Amino acid sequence: MEGVEGNAASDAVPLAKWRTDFSRAFQYYLDRSTPHPVQRWLGTLAAAAIYVLRVYYVQGFYIISYGLGIYILNLLIGFLSPKVDPELEVLDGASLPTRGSDEFKPFIRRLPEFKFWYAISKAFCVAFLMTFFSVFDVPVFWPILLCYWIVLFVLTMKRQIMHMIKYKYVPFSFGKQRYTGKQSAASSSGIKNKD
């Protein structure tokens, strides 16, 4: 009896070591990808294209695509929303600045870009794997699902945009603002100095 338990324990040790090593390697490459958002999003776009091609060629798994669309819409709302909801802040007394004399508060997302990218990437990978199991291929009339998703998207985005307008915040920044120093009169008039 002890030989069987000892054998099972010795088999579990290499499996745990492999899992730990894989987890560390995965986290290492995930950390290295952090400063490269364009490459990350291009990889996710490639995964999305592979998923769309798979669904198109199989002509099925529309319910998985619908669920994926709802999940991505939910992530998008988190990405576009501020970390602290201004509607709740009004009750506390602290709120986003509404006048030029108010203190500047930077926009902090409820769902940061990296987590947004990671969740979408995982979602496309999981959805792709689900297309290999026929149990998930529920027969549905896909145009109805598509119309319902579009209506849901439009209504949700309308509500989010109205929220942005009401509380005067923009969830996008296009990099750090750059200031240029004063230019000399010679350089601003287009005259070149010849030395």
How far apart CA 13 and CA 38 sit, in angstroms, is 39
Per the structure block, which two tokens stand in for 5?
């338990």
Is 85 among the domain residues? yes
Confidence of residue 85 (pLDDT cuts 50, 70, 90): confident
pLDDT of residue 182: 67
Contact 167, 86 (CB under 8 A): yes
Cα 184 from chain centre: 45
Is 45 among the domain residues? yes
Domain membership of residue 63 as a residue range: 37-90+108-171
- What's this model's pTM, rounded to 2 decimal places? 0.74
Is 122 among the domain residues? yes
Is 84 among the domain residues? yes
Is 73 among the domain residues? yes
Is 125 among the domain residues? yes
Residue 135 has pLDDT above 70, yes or no: yes
Please report, for residues 25, 27, 122, 187, the alpha-carbon distance to residue 21 in angstroms, rounded to integers and kept in the order given. 6, 10, 20, 59
Count of domains forming the chain? 1
How far apart CA 52 and CA 128 sit, in angstroms, is 9
